[in-house]
Amino acid sequence: MVEIRYFARLRERLGCEHEELVHPGGVFPIASLCALLAERGGIWAEEFAGQRPIMAAINEQLESLQAPIQDGDVVALFPPVTGG
């Protein structure tokens, strides 16, 4: 099982703070997770089909979208943020 947490714009647009998905096994990068979410269509496709930038963390560590997700991981997905 993989826990997915949504932050900022994603949480607001999707109307979802978190969910759990069964890990499909094998090497499963964050980019594949985003593609899987985009397959839901509608707002999910708008946010995860690659048109909008997404940042991710696995177990509170920032990662590239090519980083593999393991069973039991917590994946955070959020839009890029800026600070001052």
CATH number at 17 reads: 3.10.20.30
- Per-residue pLDDT at 59: 98
84 in a domain, yes or no?
Answer: no
Q: In what order do the strands lie in the sheet with 74-78?
A: 18-21, 2-6, 74-78, 55-58, 61-63
- Per-residue pLDDT at 82: 61
Q: What is the pTM of this model?
A: 0.91
Domain tally, the chain? 1
Strand partners, 77: 6, 56
Q: Is the pLDDT of residue 6 over 60?
A: yes
83 in a domain, yes or no?
Answer: no
Handedness of CA 23, 27, 32, 33 (dihedral sign): positive
Range of the domain at 63: 2-78
Report how far residue 5's alpha carbon sits from residue 70's, in angstroms, rounded to the nearest whole number.
15
50 in a domain, yes or no?
Answer: yes
Report how far residue 76's alpha carbon sits from residue 59's, in angstroms, rounded to the nearest whole number.
8
Return mean pLDDT, the chain: 93
Q: Is the pLDDT of residue 2 over 60?
A: yes
10 in a domain, yes or no?
Answer: yes
